[in-house]
Homo-oligomer: A and B are copies of this chain.
């Protein structure tokens, strides 16, 4: 017997989804393409996916995540609500994932301006990975009777300076070549794609259509997928689009997703989710700009090692098992259609090379984007997304590691934490009288606090003396904001009357410890990299902060809490989404793609988990800013520590 099917009506979106009995409200929301926050991947532990049942269920029972008060209003966890009848479900703002808040990269800077694309792009000459050339071939005669393919190669070779022996042709293109050449009087456009050391003729078209050549650069993040559409003839970024990674439903963390995929034989499903996310982005970009998808000939994807594996359909199982091995770090370009990515049927897909299990193509892309590999100055690249990867080096050497910073800077595991979305507090100050000033994203009443706000909040709590250097609330602080609950002490940031959801925004003792652990992980990773090279903080000449977090980060606060070492603020640069910038540089330049490969091969990965020095450093860094205040002289002065 077939299961019954029910209708779930979602508000405020006004979307109705039909789904079979036994599925959850979270499943239904995905089916309706509605993104509900479910950090834990739907196992009921994070409590972020609260929705309100407006009709269809008699009574809601309180639980560890649902207070009595909430239960009265109909709050339930979407992931734990099994569908047994038709429902009307309201998704409150704090549970929504809003695509408009995803950082799509330095897109506005790019349009029409070649120079502004990236600090590194000017170093490469314009030679897109896939290029189009127009030819008026001399028609053959009895005295000039070279075969069609060889005639074509000779002309390509003389125009592009690519030696004939490096030219290959897609076999199906070769089959159509004789008829095509004669149908258009030997006037043709050739699409030439770079495939490692060879170049493939991926298409031959009648007449001059050489101006119609587009590419897509994609940042395949664990949380978000961002795509930029590029005109490969002009190097112009035409448009950008972002979406949440559909795999989110199987875990916020990629380790959870590997486990889910292994246990449920769902590798192909994981791949399909990513390719469909990418297809959706591309088709949106192509339609919005009235292009033909046939003219999209190349796609470059930058992602961490696990995302790159899922995208290519490679098994990532061994990444999470000692000795933590990827199937491959570098995969040569493939036909996009081979993995179900829809661009030109013969179009090519490139992935940025990975370094190891925990440092992926997003990081080699980042190193490329700022040309860390050619810089004289000793530099540090810190990319804080769902994971925190750090690279130290210069033109002579590069070492890297991945810090288990945890998801607290993304708002996970924090009582009032949330992603950097509308209504999130992104800047916050605690005044001398312990009053609080703040600014939200979108300047609307606050619903929670995001990573940059949390970090600044922590710095201000220690500056104002509300907490001590261990992170504990000080005794004898004269403010009603500091209060006790059943779970311990908490500090009130925003009164419920000012908030969007009529609920106090607080920071708890547990939140503070979580944040300290996260910042300690990053700091001790930096120290370990320096120590491994026999260097110290004074050696660092430049710090590049990348990723969504980096864009809003208050550098001084990051030093005050001891996430960054005590360096001059003037050395710190925000470089945005370097993952997508590197991917775009690669699209623009075959040479850049070669350099990315060299970068991937050149970087030395240092495993922190098996490193004693790291564990020591980590323990010492579980202080504000550090057990040894002498390492942070400017903070000692700021906090007037004797």
Report A155-183 CB contacts with B as 1/0, cut-off 8 Å.
Answer: 00000000001101101001101110010
Select A145's contact among B145, B327, B330, B356, beta carbons within 8 Å.
Answer: B356
Residue of B nearest to A146 (CB): B325
A432 at the interface (CB under 8 A from B): no
Contact A179 B147 (CB under 8 A): no
Set of chain B residues within 8 Å of A354, measured between Cβ atoms = 147
Q: How far is the CA of A327 from the CA of B148 in the complex (A)?
A: 5
A193 at the interface (CB under 8 A from B): no
Contact B148 A168 (CB under 8 A): no
A142 at the interface (CB under 8 A from B): yes
Report A330-363 CB contacts with B as 1/0, cut-off 8 Å.
Answer: 1110100010000000000000001011000000
A323 at the interface (CB under 8 A from B): yes
A84 at the interface (CB under 8 A from B): no
Report A535-558 CB contacts with B as 1/0, cut-off 8 Å.
Answer: 000000000000000000000000
A633 at the interface (CB under 8 A from B): no
A60 at the interface (CB under 8 A from B): no
Select A178's contact among B145, B148, B327, B356, beta carbons within 8 Å.
Answer: B327
Contact B325 A148 (CB under 8 A): yes
A88 at the interface (CB under 8 A from B): no
Contact A150 B329 (CB under 8 A): yes
Q: How far is the CA of A186 from the CA of B324 in the complex (A)?
A: 16
| A480, chain B: closest CB distance, angstroms | 53
Contact A356 B196 (CB under 8 A): no
Residue of B nearest to A164 (CB): B601
Contact A315 B147 (CB under 8 A): no
A113 at the interface (CB under 8 A from B): no
Residue of B nearest to A335 (CB): B171
Contact B332 A148 (CB under 8 A): no
Contact B356 A326 (CB under 8 A): no
| A373, chain B: closest CB distance, angstroms | 18
Contact A171 B338 (CB under 8 A): yes
A17 at the interface (CB under 8 A from B): no
A13 at the interface (CB under 8 A from B): no
A628 at the interface (CB under 8 A from B): no
Contact A324 B610 (CB under 8 A): no
Contact A318 B148 (CB under 8 A): yes
| A406, chain B: closest CB distance, angstroms | 23
Contact A326 B148 (CB under 8 A): yes
Number of this chain's copies in the assembly equals 2
Residue of B nearest to A313 (CB): B175
| A443, chain B: closest CB distance, angstroms | 47
Contact A197 B165 (CB under 8 A): yes
Q: How far is the CA of A313 from the CA of B198 in the complex (A)?
A: 24
Q: How far is the CA of A195 from the CA of B473 in the complex (A)?
A: 69
A112 at the interface (CB under 8 A from B): no
Known: A150-B328, A174-B328, A327-B174. A315 touches B145 (CB 8 A): no
Contact A332 B168 (CB under 8 A): yes
Select A197's contact among B142, B145, B198, beta carbons within 8 Å.
Answer: B198
Set of chain B residues within 8 Å of A145, measured between Cβ atoms = 323-325, 356-357, 607
Set of chain B residues within 8 Å of A317, measured between Cβ atoms = 178
Interface residues of A in 474-490 (CB under 8 A from B): none
Set of chain B residues within 8 Å of A141, measured between Cβ atoms = 323
Set of chain B residues within 8 Å of A146, measured between Cβ atoms = 325
Set of chain B residues within 8 Å of A149, measured between Cβ atoms = 327-331
Residue of B nearest to A318 (CB): B178
A58 at the interface (CB under 8 A from B): no
Q: How far is the CA of A357 from the CA of B315 in the complex (A)?
A: 48
Set of chain B residues within 8 Å of A177, measured between Cβ atoms = 327-328
A322 at the interface (CB under 8 A from B): yes
Known: A314-B174, A315-B175, A315-B178. A142 touches B327 (CB 8 A): no
A140 at the interface (CB under 8 A from B): yes
Select A165's contact among B140, B144, B174, B196, beta carbons within 8 Å.
Answer: B196
Set of chain B residues within 8 Å of A329, measured between Cβ atoms = 147, 149-150
Interface residues of A in 278-335 (CB under 8 A from B): 313-315, 317-318, 322-332, 334
| A346, chain B: closest CB distance, angstroms | 14
| A605, chain B: closest CB distance, angstroms | 8
Contact A607 B142 (CB under 8 A): yes
Set of chain B residues within 8 Å of A323, measured between Cβ atoms = 140-142, 144-145
Contact A148 B328 (CB under 8 A): yes
Set of chain B residues within 8 Å of A338, measured between Cβ atoms = 171
Q: How far is the CA of A331 from the CA of B168 in the complex (A)?
A: 9
Contact A610 B168 (CB under 8 A): no
Set of chain B residues within 8 Å of A330, measured between Cβ atoms = 149-150
Set of chain B residues within 8 Å of A178, measured between Cβ atoms = 314-315, 317-318, 325, 327
| A135, chain B: closest CB distance, angstroms | 17
Set of chain B residues within 8 Å of A148, measured between Cβ atoms = 318, 325-328
Q: How far is the CA of A169 from the CA of B312 in the complex (A)?
A: 14
Q: How far is the CA of A358 from the CA of B165 in the complex (A)?
A: 24
| A88, chain B: closest CB distance, angstroms | 44
Known: A171-B334, A196-B198, A197-B165. A147 touches B356 (CB 8 A): yes
Q: How far is the CA of A171 from the CA of B312 in the complex (A)?
A: 9
| A315, chain B: closest CB distance, angstroms | 5
Select A147's contact among B142, B144, B169, B326, beta carbons within 8 Å.
Answer: B326
A-side interface residues toward B, CB under 8 Å?
140-142, 144-150, 165-166, 168-169, 171, 174-175, 177-179, 182, 196-198, 313-315, 317-318, 322-332, 334, 338, 354, 356-357, 607, 610
Of all A-B residue pairs in the complex, the 6 with the closest CB atoms, nearest first, are: A149-B328, A147-B326, A145-B323, A147-B329, A142-B323, A178-B327
- 11 pairs, CB–CB < 8 Å, chain A vs chain B: A140-B323, A145-B323, A145-B324, A145-B356, A147-B356, A169-B332, A171-B334, A178-B317, A178-B327, A182-B318, A197-B197
